[in-house]
Chains A and B, each alone.
Chain A
Amino acid sequence: MSAMESMKNKIIEARGIFKSFTIGGKKLEVLKNLNFSVNEGEFVSIMGPSGCGKSTLLYLLGGLDIPTQGEVIFNSNSYNTMKEKDMSLIRRRQLGFVFQFYNLVPNLNVEDNILLPLLLDDKKPKHYEKDLKKILDIIGLNNWRKHTPRELSGGQQQRVAIARALLFEPKLILADEPIGNLDSKSGDEIMKLFKTINKEFDKTIIQVTHSNESANYGNRIIYLRDGVIEKDGAVKVG
């Protein structure tokens, strides 16, 4: 962690996180006493073998699931004390999600998919026309705004998902295997886009990935193995 980064504020923190599931009557500990924090402006990649709890951790950080023990502090507020309504509000306004399979709403067009969090927040889309155009320019899909997801390629759909995550200018973007379903060329393009968003728009990004190339676009890697942090360090440049 650079000196510059350490001066920045903590945006999210995991404190003593445990997560277990009961499968077939047996308790399975997926995450065991995780403690770490992410500062504003960081681009963190969570890596590890299949089943090590990467995605589970990401969902806990996004407030989509609750830990068996411990707490997640986002922006100085613990998820544990929040009501469902407030949690929804945080997801809507302060977090951006990007998934491997894009998770776009198939019967909404590109524009409406991007504007969806806004519509759910009863904001008037006309006030966000400029933002929308800017975002569409960034992702390079201005000419596709009226198309539905099924008319787009995988890479294009993932760009729409990123645009949707960006609309509310969230403090933190959480990406779950964002290029896991893409070919290498589209994957590179998406990662470059994330890099741009992180550098130029100063957005904090946490991604879960299997790919070393993808992880190298970030500046910190957390390795998980069997539910514990095995390694947490900066990406080696070069």
Chain B
Amino acid sequence: MNILNKYLWKSIIEKKGRMILLLMSISLSVALLVGTLGAIKSMTDSISDVYKNSYGDFNVGLVSSNRENPFFNTDNIKEFNFTENIKILNIGGYLSDDNAREIRIYGMSLSDFKSFNVMKLTGNDDLIDLNEDGIIISQKTSDEYGLNIGDEINVTILGKSYTYEIKGVSINRGLFTEDKKDSFVVIANKDMVSEIYGLKDLYTQEFISVDVENLEEWVNKFNKDNKDTNIIGYKLYDEEKAAAGINMVRNSMFIILAIVFLCTIFLIYNSFNLIVLERVPVIGTFLSQGATRLKVIKILLKESIAYGLIGGIIGNLLGMVFIQFLANIGNPLKSMGVEAIVDYETYHFILGFAFSIVLSVVSSILPIIKIRKLPIKEVILNTMSVQSKNSIYTFFIGITLICISTVLHYTAEVSNYKYSVIAIFSLIIGIILIIPKLVQLTMEPLGRLFRNTKGILVVVINNVSTSKLLLNNTRLLTISIIVMLMINTIAVSFSNGVKDVYGKMNCNIIVTDKSHVPNLVNEKILNLKNIDKLYMSNRLSNVFVNGNENNKMLIEAITPNEWVGWNDYIKYDNEEETLQKLQLNNEGIILSKKTANKNNLKEGDTLSISYNNKEVKLIVVGLLDSRMLGDFNLVNIKMVKEQLGLMYPDSYYIKTNDDVEELKELLEKDFKGIGTSIVTKSEMQERNNNAMEPTINLLKVFAYIIFIIGGVGVASNIIMSFIQRKRDIAIISVLGLNKRQRGLLFFLEGLVQALLALCIGTIAVFGLNIILTDYLKYIDLSLILEYPVESILPAFITVILLMLITSVTAALKSRNLSIINEIRYE
């Protein structure tokens, strides 16, 4: 090792506290980056894996386009190429001796079952004779119900009881992934199901495997070619939809990740400022011995790279743990019992390693290149006086950034919110920059106030408002508090938002009908007694806008004048008036603002929609804000009946003042086994909360990590600030500051910094919430951010505790302070 490298290594390990702080913040940032990338991949993989486990090699599904007639004849399909296919005829039923257990029966031929390669029989897979009474169940069902090969079950289908013998048990894949808590899947003989229906050569589903580059295009062409049949094709797995599902999580994670990086950059920048300051005498020695400034810069850059290298290694190791951890808590399929799939991608680690070096170098470059400007003679003679720059320039830059952020907010609608991310960071950096001046301005009158009451407070106030180290502590604490409160804002608002979507719905029970007998369901619901209010709608997905197959929207077909008051969560300019316009115009549509913006449409504009190969021209009669309901557009149910041929609603929202559970039981009894789901409003809310849980947990984990980085940063800064200020403290001790007062000084400094950070942080979050709302609009999430008032007290206690612990540590450290060593100059 040459002398300079030895010097470099010794410099790194000389100040252990700083080394740990730098390595910890770099490693945590790298670990979070690697963890986030890995976790996002894991989420996507988990969703895609569910698809693969469900459908194997099949990628397109065929169904009837007519819900009232779900059967189709595969001979009618226009010629097309596929490599494999299986045909299914399904029907619903329930266990005769336990009517709470629904059964979904998929009728298929034994050869089709065998070619559905993801489903495999456990044990002897040579089986089997899937005769008319034979069925196959999943291992999960076998375990749960204690059913084995040879056992019989009685199933009630369309009111009649049938007995089936279990002929095989399959692994929990393929169609068996649909097994749920209260229902399970059985594979049965197709002819048996045909017999129950009294039909021949008709099916309800077909899965095909198509080997093409652009599946979307293929499906669209297929649907066009089969326009005259009642068959419609769809992609079994939609990557875009899956990606959109985790979009919000991914975007939130990256935003928070950027804030973590900001904290780290700030810490590294500060540390290198100190490093350069401390090294002035050594730099002087180097320069006096003939080193160029560039050489000195290179030595310091090497130090920065070394931190990056070590941080990268530790960060990647930590990243492996983070991937596992984040993937598990962010697993979108956790509620379905699907475990997160974690794969370690080499390029994530390479990226993390490169990022670590770049992060370290970029953050330290400014303090390092400052060396260029140091007066060489004074550096060599070590007579350089270090003056802290006037904070007024930084203050003005900060104010400018805050102004930029404000302007971006007020022009956000024009720019379609696309600069909202810049606005967020502009505001955060602006706040960080104005803190020193802000603290100075706040502390000045307080200093005057306490001048003649408590002397030590004057020293405290002066130190907090003028010491660069302490000001940086206040900055770090403020960032930590801002992030903590912001993440809590998002978590609380999401949670409340989800609750509101259903909470404000004017019903107790939601019936979703996917049965093949919508007329019967409709009739029964219409004849229900003791109903206070009934809202009905028909939900149409995969509606193409203006003939563009890549532009889809969701439509809710309603009876407008009966829809008033359905859900107060949705905001109209004037609900009754808007719905009345739709009532009067069968070819009208009320668009959600999101859909209107996406298609550049306004009231009075026309658009065409196509559904099941049928096209309708509509006029926009009004707009609504669907908020978290997203793509939610209303059309008149009359139009849907007349022009799209959909005769019956598929969603019923029932309001009753009687016993809700009783009504639910009644409906379940009536609709058992036919594919109709009955859910109470509170169950629906719970389901949504569960679905939100992974996202909220992820956000919380990030909040804690930021607080750890911020907290450790502050703690080590306080201890470092003690080391840096040893001489000043020694001087004050010479003048009569005793040990008790010294401890009090540290504690009061910490307390004042904590209070300042809390005040600035809690106020800043108000502004940040406004800008964050713009960002949420940018990602198409109309969420009202609620200030997390209840989080202020825990944040306050945490920050005070942190400052108490660190100031006590500093006070204990100061017990060994040698006044003479600090003030002597020989």
List A residues at the B interface (Cβ < 8 Å): 50, 55, 59, 62, 64-65, 84-85, 87-89, 91-93, 97, 99-101, 103-108, 112, 116-126, 150, 164
Contacts and interface: CB of A to CB of B under 8 A. Distances in A.
24 contacts: A55-B824, A65-B820, A84-B738, A85-B738, A88-B733, A88-B738, A89-B738, A91-B734, A91-B736, A101-B825, A103-B734, A105-B731, A107-B467, A108-B462, A116-B459, A117-B736, A119-B456, A119-B458, A119-B459, A120-B455, A120-B456, A120-B741, A124-B452, A164-B735
B737 interface: yes
Given A55-B826, A99-B823, A150-B385, A116 B732 contact: yes
B820 A64 contact: yes
Nearest to A167: B735
Nearest to A122: B455
B680 interface: no
Contacts of A126: 451-452
B735 A91 contact: yes
Contact of B458 (A97, A104, A112): A112
A117 B466 contact: no
B740 interface: yes
B115 interface: no
A106 to B, nearest CB: 7
Interface in B448-483: 451-456, 458-459, 462-463, 466-467
Nearest to A174: B734
B728 interface: yes
Contact of A105 (B732, B738, B741): B732
Contacts of B467: 107
A177 to B, nearest CB: 8
Nearest to B727: A103
Nearest to A123: B455
Contacts of A119: 455-456, 458-459
Interface string B581-624: 00000000000000000000000000000000000000000000
B741 A64 contact: no
Interface residues of B, number: 33
Contacts of B737: 88, 120
Given A88-B733, A103-B731, A117-B736, A122 B819 contact: no
B313 to A, nearest CB: 37
A97 B387 CA distance: 25
Contacts of A91: 734-736
Nearest to B454: A122
B739 A84 contact: yes
Interface of B: 385, 387, 451-456, 458-459, 462-463, 466-467, 727-728, 731-741, 819-820, 823-826
Contact of A107 (B455, B456, B466, B735): B466
Give the top 7 A-B pairs by smallest Cβ distance, nearest first.
A92-B736, A119-B455, A88-B738, A107-B466, A124-B452, A103-B731, A117-B735
Contacts of B458: 112, 119
A50 B825 CA distance: 12
Given A107-B466, A107-B467, A112-B462, A120 B823 contact: no
A88 B824 CA distance: 19
Contacts of B819: 64-65
B387 A150 contact: yes
Contacts of A121: 455, 736
A223 B623 CA distance: 97
Nearest to A83: B738
A199 B42 CA distance: 85
A93 B737 CA distance: 11
B742 to A, nearest CB: 10
Contacts of B739: 84-85
Contacts of B462: 107-108, 112
Nearest to A88: B738
Given A119-B459, A122-B454, A64 B387 contact: no
A66 B160 CA distance: 103
Q: Which of A50, A100, A108 has the most CB of B within 10 A?
A: A108
A162 B463 CA distance: 23
Among A50, A89, A92, A107, max chain B CB count under 10 A is at A107
A8 B451 CA distance: 39
Given A108-B459, A117-B735, A120-B455, 4 more contacts: A85-B740, A87-B738, A88-B737, A103-B727
B823 A125 contact: no
A99 to B, nearest CB: 6
A183 to B, nearest CB: 14
A120 B452 contact: no
B19 to A, nearest CB: 27
Contact of B735 (A55, A120, A123): A120
A97 B463 contact: no
Nearest to B468: A107
B455 A118 contact: yes
Contacts of B735: 91-92, 97, 116-117, 120, 164
A122 B736 contact: no
A84 B819 CA distance: 13
A103 to B, nearest CB: 5
B736 A107 contact: no
Contact of B456 (A100, A117, A122, A124): A122
Which of B385, B734, B739 has its CB near the most chain A CB atoms (within 10 A)? B734
Contacts of B741: 88, 120
Contacts of A123: 455
Count chain B CB atoms within 10 A of each CB in A91, A103, A122 and give the residue with the most. Answer: A103
A112 to B, nearest CB: 7
B456 A103 contact: no
Nearest to B463: A107
B267 to A, nearest CB: 23
A93 B736 contact: yes
A102 to B, nearest CB: 9
A66 B741 CA distance: 21
Contacts of B385: 150
A85 B743 CA distance: 13
Contacts of A125: 451-452
Contacts of B731: 103-105
B58 to A, nearest CB: 73
A87 to B, nearest CB: 8
Nearest to B818: A65
Contacts of A122: 454-456
B49 to A, nearest CB: 60
Given A120-B741, A121-B455, A106 B732 contact: no
Q: In the complex, which of the residues B733, B736, B819 has the most CB atoms of chain A within 10 Å of its own CB atom?
A: B736
Contact of B732 (A64, A118, A120): A120
